[in-house]
Amino acid sequence: QIDKAKGYAGDSLEYNFWHNIDLNGKPIWSVCPVQGGAAPSGPETYFLSVRPGDLSNDTLFLHTISNSYQSGNAQFSSKVLKTPIAYGLPPNALQKDGQYLATNDARVLSAMIENNRIQYVQNCIDTQYYTAGIYLGDVENPSSASPTVTGRLISFDTIDLGYPSIAYLGNNQFDNRSAITCSFSSPDTFPGTAAFYRAADGNVSEMLIVKKGEAPENVLADTIERWG
């Protein structure tokens, strides 16, 4: 919404700036923008936040800017939603050589909207196997007074997943297919890149390995390496 031509010309840019976003005095941080699926969406704009540093939480924040800057009446608001299953701080991922990969936290990393449904992904912990996985969530009817939230965990007992992204694959108003990409690692494999296909019925495919790693990541002096 910011006029890029003015920026390239060195002119002053016009924009709104919302800040001090919190709930009961506790700051809400790591705000992820929700992109359009098949095309840019709007004029309203959505953003998602969670409590990314908590060991376990079921709070999802849905932020809305009601209109474009150019309209002159854009308003910011937030809804507090509850996820059906809790998310939590993921453990560091193990590599084949014994080095670990940093997962950092459980923030929402990618989100898109199509057919009045937000699909989003975030880092998460699998509490059964204590591995790093992907939380896949949906927010139906985000503009309504009471949006519906659903979610599921994509994870394995011996493979760690991290830093997911999601993109729209459908082609009509009833088609909510999507693709999820992520990084993966395990004690038996070098870090690589994988993908999942989400069908129109919501089912998620088996993991498709896009690129196998050829060596461990070992750049930093300690045993926890940058990942993602």
Give the model's confidence band at 125: pLDDT under 50 very low, under 70 low, under 90 confident, else very high: very high
pLDDT at 228: 67
Q: Rounded to whole angstroms, how far apart are CA atoms 44 and 42?
A: 5
Q: Would you state the pLDDT for residue 177?
A: 95
Phi/psi for 193 (5° steps) reads -120, 135
Q: What is the mean pLDDT of the segment spanning 124-131?
A: 96
Supply angle C-alpha 100, 129, 180, rounded to 5: 75
The lowest-confidence range among 155-169, 178-192, 208-222 is 208-222
The mean pLDDT of the chain is 94
The pLDDT score that the predictor gives to residue 62 is 97
pLDDT for the residue 69 = 85
Q: Which two tokens stand for residue 25?
A: 């005095």
| Residue 105 predicted with pLDDT over 70 | yes
Q: Residue 102, CB half-sphere, CA atoms under 13 Å: how many?
A: 10
Name 197's bridge partners: 179
What pLDDT sits at residue 3? 86
Question: Taking residues 141-160, what's their average pLDDT?
Answer: 95
Q: How far apart are CA 91 and CA 127, in angstroms?
A: 10
Name the residue among 197, 219, 220 with its Cα closest to residue 207. 197
36 pLDDT band (50/70/90 cuts)?
very high
Say what percent of the chain tops pLDDT 90.
79
Please work out, in degrees rounded to the nearest 5, the angle formed at the alpha carbon of residue 60 by the alpha carbons of 68 and 22.
70
Summarize pLDDT for 41-98 with one digit per residue, the tens: 889 999 999 999 999 999 999 999 998 888 888 999 999 999 999 999 999 999 998 8
Written as one string, the DSSP assignment of 7-70 is HHTTPPP--------EETTEEP--PEE-EESSS---SSEEEEEE-TT-SSEEEEEEEEE-S-GG
Question: Helix, strand, or coil here: 5?
Answer: helix
